[in-house]
Structures are given as structure tokens and as C-alpha cells.
Amino acid sequence: MDEEWGISESALALLRTLDKEYICDIENEEGLILHGCGTMLMLGCPISIHWTINHIGENVVLKDCVKVISTDQKAIY
């Protein structure tokens, strides 16, 4: 195929978890689902959704879901 395709930052983050663990760490890691407000440079924007991904045999376990809803990171549930 001789075409170019774009992939969102969230889609790329999710693809990376297909074969490796991801630990929910809102202080040090970007989330798996990012806000995507359309700003060209989203670097450092904390609005996102995080969760832990563990691979156990052929199963994938999702846990520890955290949603950051504000840029001050204090509004977390």
C-alpha cells in the first residue's frame, strides 16, 4: 500500500498495551485516552483517562480506572 495514514495519540497508546503492561500512574505517565481538544501541542495536558493493564496468560485484565477531568489534576475520580 503506497499511502500515508495518521493515527491519534490515544490510539497509539492503546496499541502499545497489546503486548506489554501499563501501570496507572497519573503523576508520571500520560493517560491512555487523551483529551484531544484540538490544540497543536498537547504536551503536558493532564486531562485524560488512565487504567492499569495486566496480561495474564491469554487474558488481559483492566483495573484502577482514573479519569482526570481538569488541568489542575485535583479533580480526579
Q: What is the pLDDT of residue 54?
A: 92
The answer to whether 73 and 29 are in contact (CB under 8 A) is no
* Closest to 46 measured CA to CA, from 55, 56, 59, 37: 37
- Whether 16 has a pLDDT exceeding 70, the answer reads yes
Query: Tens of pLDDT along 39-73?
Result: 555 566 778 888 899 999 989 898 988 888 877 76
The per-residue pLDDT for 19 is 82
User: 23-37: per-residue pLDDT in tens?
Assistant: 888 777 777 777 766
Residues whose CB falls within 8 Å of the CB of residue 59, separated by 6 or more in sequence, listed in order: none
Distance (Å, rounded) from C-alpha 34 to C-alpha 19?
20
| Cβ(14)–Cβ(31) below 8 Å | no
Bigger pLDDT: 16 or 41? 16
Taking the domains of the chain in order of start, what are their residue ranges? 9-68
